[in-house]
């Protein structure tokens, strides 16, 4: 049976090695992706807000 402390140390060592292999995005790529996520999120929010408004209006106008 191994020492639990050595398992944790081994895990941290392997995680660090894997992180060294990662190709991190440039600042420009990260900024572009962030802007794209914000724009798409706002577009979906506006669409869903509009659908909610229309359905609420129709419910109040024609059913209630």
Is residue 33 a contact partner of residue 25, using CB atoms and an 8 Å limit? yes
Report yes or no on 60 lying in a domain. yes
In the DSSP assignment, the letter for residue 64 is -
The pLDDT tens digits for 27-61 are 999 999 999 999 999 999 999 999 999 999 999 99
Angle at CA 4, nearest 5°, toward 14 and 9?
25
Average pLDDT score over residue span 12-36 = 96
Residue appearing with tokens 């990662």: 22
Report yes or no on 41 lying in a domain. yes
Residue 4 has pLDDT above 90, yes or no: no
- Number of structural domains (the chain) is 1
CA neighbor of 56 nearest in space, from 38, 64, 39: 64
Report yes or no on 7 lying in a domain. no
Report yes or no on 19 lying in a domain. no
Average pLDDT score over residue span 8-26 = 94
In the DSSP assignment, the letter for residue 16 is H
Residue 25 has pLDDT above 80, yes or no: yes
């Amino acid at each position: 049976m191994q020492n639990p402390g050595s398992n944790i140390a081994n895990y941290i060592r392997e995680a660090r090695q894997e992180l060294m292999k990662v190709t991190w995005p440039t600042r420009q790529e990260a900024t572009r992706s962030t802007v794209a996520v914000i724009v798409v999120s706002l577009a979906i929010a506006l669409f869903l807000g509009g659908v909610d408004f229309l359905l609420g209006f129709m419910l109040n106008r024609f059913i209630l």
